[in-house]
Amino acid sequence: MTVRVGVVGTGVMGADHVRTLTGGVAGARVVAVSDADQGRGRAVAAEAGDEVVFHADPVDLIGDAGVDAVVVASPDHTHEALATACVEAGKPVLCEKPLAATAADCLRIVAHEVAKGRRLVQAGYMRRFDPSYVDMKRALDAGSIGDPVLVHCVHRNARALHFFTPEMPFTSAAVHEFDVVRWLLSSEIVRVTVHRTRSSSRAAARLADPRLLVLETAAGVTVDVEVFVNAQYGYDVRCELVGELGTVSLALPSTTVVRAGGAEGVAVHADFRTRFAEAYRLQLQAWVDAAARGEACGPSAWDGYAATAVAEACLRAQEDGTPVEVELADKPALYGT
């Protein structure tokens, strides 16, 4: 069976998803596209194939009987309405992160899904499909390093996009770390502290970039997270799980080693699209496979909610520097225990 996919939003991420579905995912076909910018949307549709339909209104795409499943890659503030429409239509939806603009918005998606009675929403936290993170979790779960006692995370972008607001280092960047830590440790984040530091002169003053976050999980494990969205030299994501017997870290993803000009070096990726290209592909493949089986997989709406709730706790925590509790709603049975 071929899953017929509609893609809402054809900006950088949406266009990438179309290309990946078309060029590297088995069992799927992009059949429809939508974008508020009709010119851009129609161009992406045309590039994807002659029979790809363009819908000016994303709700029409979701309702299109020829569409089996939907990727939402439009602006964050549209996610709640679109994900909800997919749930109402009973169609699987892969929604780019963050799941929605606020934790409250996310929680409404959760409520809709719970009312519907089955999981249809996958949050686009693609790191859970990255081979390095997957192997790291496998090593932890296999007991290779013993029980976890600490985690060190680093999230560096080369440069913040011009529209980055003071909230986005938390809600857009660190939110990946919150999701992956919850997943790796199988435990909610319950408390956060934000440590400021000397700001880089390369960062816009409003960003107070970088900073250091300290998270605590329900199981009592402490996690430090550097968030630096103007690190200049490249896109660099690091993670080390420290266990009672040893540690496991992400390897630097590199293909070649070059010796030239007095140094031996490996390239650091320029941005997340190349660093996580395989994770994005595997995420789409797993989503398509699950859709074909009528099942759900990967990070749920609840996971999307929880990550954004931690980000909002960080926003409060950075006000005065003291620890702030993460207040989560009760977890519905739909999402397991």
Site for its own copies in 176-205 (CB under 8 A): 193, 195-202
**Residue 149 is a binding residue for its own copies (CB under 8 A):** yes
Which residue type occupies 11?
Answer: G
Q: In this chain, which of 165, 254, 273, 295 binds its own copies, going by CB under 8 A?
A: 254
How far apart are CB 52 and its own copies at their closest, in Å?
14
* Sites for its own copies among residues 84-113 (CB under 8 A): none
In our burial notation (b when 16+ CB lie closer than 10 A, e otherwise), range 279-305 reads bbbbbbbbbbbbbbeeebbbbbbbbbb
Output 118 or 238, the one with its CB closest to its own copies.
Answer: 238
How far apart are CB 310 and its own copies at their closest, in Å?
16
Q: In this chain, which of 46, 57, 251, 325 binds its own copies, going by CB under 8 A?
A: 251
Output 66 or 321, the one with its CB closest to its own copies.
Answer: 321
Number of residues that bind its own copies (CB under 8 A): 80
CB-based contacts of 101: which residues, under 8 Å, 6+ apart? 76, 77, 79, 80
How far apart are CB 249 and its own copies at their closest, in Å?
5
Output 115 or 258, the one with its CB closest to its own copies.
Answer: 258
* Sites for its own copies among residues 13-72 (CB under 8 A): 21-28
CB-side exposure of 117: number of CA atoms within 13 Å? Answer: 0
**Residue 222 is a binding residue for its own copies (CB under 8 A):** yes
**Residue 244 is a binding residue for its own copies (CB under 8 A):** yes
**Residue 159 is a binding residue for its own copies (CB under 8 A):** no
Residue 30 forms beta bridges with which residues?
5
Output 46 or 258, the one with its CB closest to its own copies.
Answer: 258
CB 123 within 8 A of CB 201: no
Cα first-last separation, the chain: 33
Output 117 or 262, the one with its CB closest to its own copies.
Answer: 262
**Residue 321 is a binding residue for its own copies (CB under 8 A):** yes
Output 142 or 161, the one with its CB closest to its own copies.
Answer: 142
Count of residues in the chain: 337
Instruction: Output the CA torsion 256→19→80→185 (10° steps).
Output: -30
DSSP string, 275-312: HTHHHHHHHHHHHHHHHHHT---SS-HHHHHHHHHHHH
How far apart are CB 102 and its own copies at their closest, in Å?
28
H helix or E strand, kind and range, residue 95: strand 93-95
Q: Look up residue 169 and give its DSSP letter.
A: I
**Residue 233 is a binding residue for its own copies (CB under 8 A):** yes
